[in-house]
Each structure stands twice: as C-alpha cells, then as structure tokens.
C-alpha cells in the first residue's frame, strides 16, 4: 500500500515537470506503467484474500494483513447457507458440530450431537450406551439423520443408545478431545473410534497449505499436540495463527527449506512492492511443487500418548473402548501395540476389514453403496450398523448386558 502511495506521489510530481523535459516525459511513462502493474497486482491480491486463498500473502504487508483479518472475521470455512454452517469454531476442538442446528439433511440436538433426540447425562439402567467418535464415516456425510448407521443401529436394537459424536474431517486427536470435552459427561458404557492412528488429519499438515491453500477449509481448524516433560499438551489452531511469525516459520516456510532470516526474498523492500511480492509467491509455489509429494508421517509418540490417555480415562470411568485398526495389526507402531496389550481388559480391537467381509458375504459391490460424496448411503450404513451390532453381541458388556 505504501509503495502505491509513493508511486502516486511520484506520478503527480513527474506530470508537473514532464513538459519541461524529455527525460521527464520518459520517466513519467515508465513510472505510470509500473504504477498500473502495481495496482493490477494489488487488485489480484485483494481477490485472493476475498477468496480466502494464498497463505503466503500473510505477513508481508500491513495493509494486506488488515484486509485478511477483516475477511477472516466472517469468511471462514463455516459459511451461512452452506452445509458447513452446521459446524462451529471451537476454542478447544478447532471446530465441532453446532448446537441445535437444522440444515437440510443434518440436524443436531442442544448437546451438539447429531440427533433429534436429547440424551440424559446418565444412561438408564436398562440401556447400554454407545458413544461413537470419528470422521465423516461416523458423521455419515450427505445422508439424513435417519439414514446414518448410528441412528439405524439404535433404532433397530432394543436397549441400546447410540450417541453420534462424529465430525467430518476429524482425526484421532480431535476425536479424542471431543471424547474428553463432550462424550465423557454422558457416561458411555462403550466408546467406539473408527481409527487409532495419528495421521495427516492430526495437527496442521504443511501439505495442506500447498494443496488446498484456502483459509475456509476445515483443515486449518486443527489442534496442535506436543509433549512437554512427557505431559500431553494441546492448543487449538485457526487461520488467525498465521499472523504469528513463529507459526508461519514452522508451518509455511521450514517445510519448504526456507529460512526467513536469511532468505533473499524475505526482504521488507521486496515485500512492500506488489511486483516483488508476486515474484516471491511464484518462487514459494515453485518450491512447494518440488516437495508436494513428500510424506509427513504421523508422530508415533503422540499417537501412543493419546491412546494411553484415552484408555486410561475410559478405564477410570468404567467404559470399554472399541478401536478399528488396520487389517494388518503389525502396521501399528510397536509403542501403540504395547499400550493396547497393557489395557487388554479395557480395549477391544476390530479390523477395518470386518465391514468389507460382510459386504463380500452378501455379494455387494462396495462402490454400489456409496453416495455422491463417496460415503455410505442408507443401504451401506445399514450393513455397517449390522457389523457393529455383531461386534457388540460378541462380547459381554457392563452389568451383564
């Protein structure tokens, strides 16, 4: 912005003297055309900010930062009138299901659970309470409440309550936190997680900045976990964290091998010019393309710490835990396997292949039970509910139920 003002003043000055000097005429045209280029690029940057795109614009110009913050105050992933409005930003979870929402196919109760039914905090003596946590396959994207497998499982099984705490886009860490914040107080007999691994959905994945590059995506409402003296700590992250220079260094630039303190393109002079800033963006995106296929592996220590904390909490509250794990159990980190063995009386391991085995027995093509968002339709969810029920019946749960 300052660069544009300086150029504008220079144009006024040279316009006054251009008729008195041929050089003045030449300089006037040069600065005039450069001014046009600067304005054009600036308008393009504004357009990118309006679309909530280009993380690498943050931290270069105060004017652009001010516009970005203003835009972010309402142009987040959760936009009124869209399906995303069903969710809300949360200070602990990053984002979660909104309270008492009703948007087309999706309905939540006053407890932020995907259900038209409100649940008592304590289960009835004659009820077995199952709380399910996970991503869009637990939430059941693009299906009505009554067509989700948690609803089908409850409605077709006498004496069973199923609380759907699924949230689209969640990884293990956010699901774990939702159990602590929301699920624990409902005193479930059984807790089910549809995964056990700490993966790309946990914490901020640098690849997300390069592949999606959009501040509206739920990928940027994550929770950052870390260990401090063997204690598990967490912090909710939103796109506003991008305005912290240390955050930008860690998540935007270090994965690209860029040291902002010594990198030539980090100069304030370059960033103050829109032309210079445009070149900087091109260089950064070029670097991003070079590492876009790089894998960012999950942290096995954090994975183990979360699983241990989850199982320890469940054991203390007399809840059993069902984890869906990869078909090859040995693929899990050894440290996680050891924890599962230590909690053998609390945890029940189920292979991800159970559902597909059920489909094979019924002669059903997995592709035929997917909806337009590649999640299970009602038929698929019904079979999934039958699979879960078969698992539940294979064990004796609390109180002999």
322-340, pLDDT tens digit by residue? 999 988 888 899 999 999 9
Mean pLDDT, residues 376-383 taken together:
96
Mean pLDDT, residues 78-102 taken together:
77
**pLDDT for the residue 21:** 52
Query: 83-200+299-400: which CATH architecture?
Result: 3-Layer(aba) Sandwich (3.40)
Question: Could you tell me if 55 and 36 are in contact, meaning their C-beta atoms sit under 8 angstroms apart?
Answer: no
Number of Cβ atoms within 10 Å of the Cβ of 234: 19
Q: Which 3-state string (H, E, C) describes 294-353?
A: CCCCCCHHHHHHHHHHHHHHHHHCCCEEEEEECCCHHHCCHHHHHHHHHCCCCEEEEECH
- Got the DSSP string for 115-152? SSS---SS--TT-EEEEEE-SHHHHTTTS-GGGSHHHH
**pLDDT for the residue 81:** 43
Closest CA to 305 of 231, 234, 255, 397: 231
Cα angle value 393/126/110 (rounded, 5°): 100
Cα dihedral 232/236/239/245 (nearest 10): -50
Q: How far apart are CA 167 and CA 139, in angstroms?
A: 6
Q: How far apart are CA 358 and CA 40, in angstroms?
A: 59
The helix (run of H) or strand (run of E) holding residue 103 is strand 102-103
Query: Between 382 and 18, whose confidence is greater?
Result: 382
**pLDDT for the residue 80:** 43
Sequence-distant (≥ 6) Cβ neighbours of residue 61 within 8 angstroms: 1, 271, 272, 277
Q: How far apart are CA 48 and CA 65, in angstroms?
A: 12
Lowest model confidence (mean pLDDT) among 11-15, 62-66, 376-380: 11-15
For 225-274, the pLDDT digits (tens) are 999 998 999 999 888 888 999 988 888 888 888 898 888 888 888 888 88
Question: Could you tell me if 324 and 194 are in contact, meaning their C-beta atoms sit under 8 angstroms apart?
Answer: yes
For 175-224, the pLDDT digits (tens) are 999 999 999 999 999 999 999 999 878 887 777 666 655 666 667 788 98
Sequence-distant (≥ 6) Cβ neighbours of residue 308 within 8 angstroms: 339
**pLDDT for the residue 386:** 96
Quickly tell me which residue has 């027995």 as its tokens: 361
The helix (run of H) or strand (run of E) holding residue 4 is helix 2-17
In this structure, the strands spanning 320-325 and 190-193 are parallel
Give whole-number Cα distances, 51 to 77, 285, 358, in Å: 11, 18, 44
Question: Could you tell me if 176 and 184 are in contact, meaning their C-beta atoms sit under 8 angstroms apart?
Answer: no
- Got the DSSP string for 351-379? ETHHHHHHHHHHT--GGGGB-TTSSB-HH
Q: How far apart are CA 44 and CA 277, in angstroms?
A: 12
Q: How far apart are CA 10 and CA 32, in angstroms?
A: 9
Q: What is the pTM of this model?
A: 0.83
Domain limits, the chain: 2-72, 83-200+299-400
Q: How many residues does the chain have?
A: 401
For 135-187, the pLDDT digits (tens) are 999 999 999 999 999 999 999 999 999 999 999 989 999 999 999 999 999 99
């Amino acid at each position: 912005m300052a660069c544009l003002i300086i150029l504008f003043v220079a144009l006024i000055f040279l316009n006054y003297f251009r008729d008195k000097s041929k050089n003045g005429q030449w300089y006037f045209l040069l600065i005039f055309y450069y001014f046009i280029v600067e304005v054009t690029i600036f308008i393009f940057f504004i357009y990118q900010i309006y679309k909530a795109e280009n993380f690498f614009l943050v931290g270069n110009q105060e004017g652009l930062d001010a516009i970005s913050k203003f835009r972010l105050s309402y142009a987040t992933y959760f936009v009124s009138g869209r399906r995303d409005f069903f969710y809300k930003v949360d200070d602990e979870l990053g984002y979660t299901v909104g309270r008492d929402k009703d948007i087309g196919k999706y309905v939540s109760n006053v407890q932020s659970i995907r259900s038209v039914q409100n649940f008592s905090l304590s289960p009835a003596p004659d009820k077995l309470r199952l709380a399910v946590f996970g991503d869009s396959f637990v939430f059941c994207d693009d299906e009505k409440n009554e067509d989700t497998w948690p609803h089908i499982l409850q409605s077709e099984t006498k004496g069973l309550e199923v609380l759907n705490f699924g949230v689209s886009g969640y990884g293990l860490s956010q699901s774990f936190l939702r159990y602590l914040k929301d699920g624990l107080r409902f005193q479930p007999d059984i807790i089910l997680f549809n995964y056990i691994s700490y993966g790309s959905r946990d914490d901020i994945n640098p690849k997300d900045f390069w592949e999606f590059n959009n501040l509206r995506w739920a990928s940027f409402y994550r929770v950052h976990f870390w260990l401090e003296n063997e204690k598990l700590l967490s912090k909710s992250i939103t796109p506003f964290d991008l305005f912290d220079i240390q955050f930008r260094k860690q998540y935007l630039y270090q994965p690209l091998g860029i040291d902002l303190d010594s990198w030539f393109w980090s100069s304030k002079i370059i960033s103050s010019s829109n032309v210079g800033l445009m070149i900087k963006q091109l260089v950064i995106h070029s670097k991003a393309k070079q590492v876009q296929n790089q894998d960012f592996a999950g942290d096995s220590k954090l994975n183990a710490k979360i699983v241990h904390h989850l199982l320890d909490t469940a054991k203390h509250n007399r809840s059993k835990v069902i984890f869906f794990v990869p078909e090859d159990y040995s693929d899990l980190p050894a440290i996680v396997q050891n924890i599962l063995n230590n909690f053998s009386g609390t945890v029940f391991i189920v292979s991800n292949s159970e559902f597909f085995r059920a489909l094979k027995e019924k002669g059903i093509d997995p592709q035929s039970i997917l909806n337009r968002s590649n999640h299970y339709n009602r038929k698929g969810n019904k079979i999934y509910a039958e699979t879960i029920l078969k698992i539940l019946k294979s064990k004796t749960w609390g109180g002999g139920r």
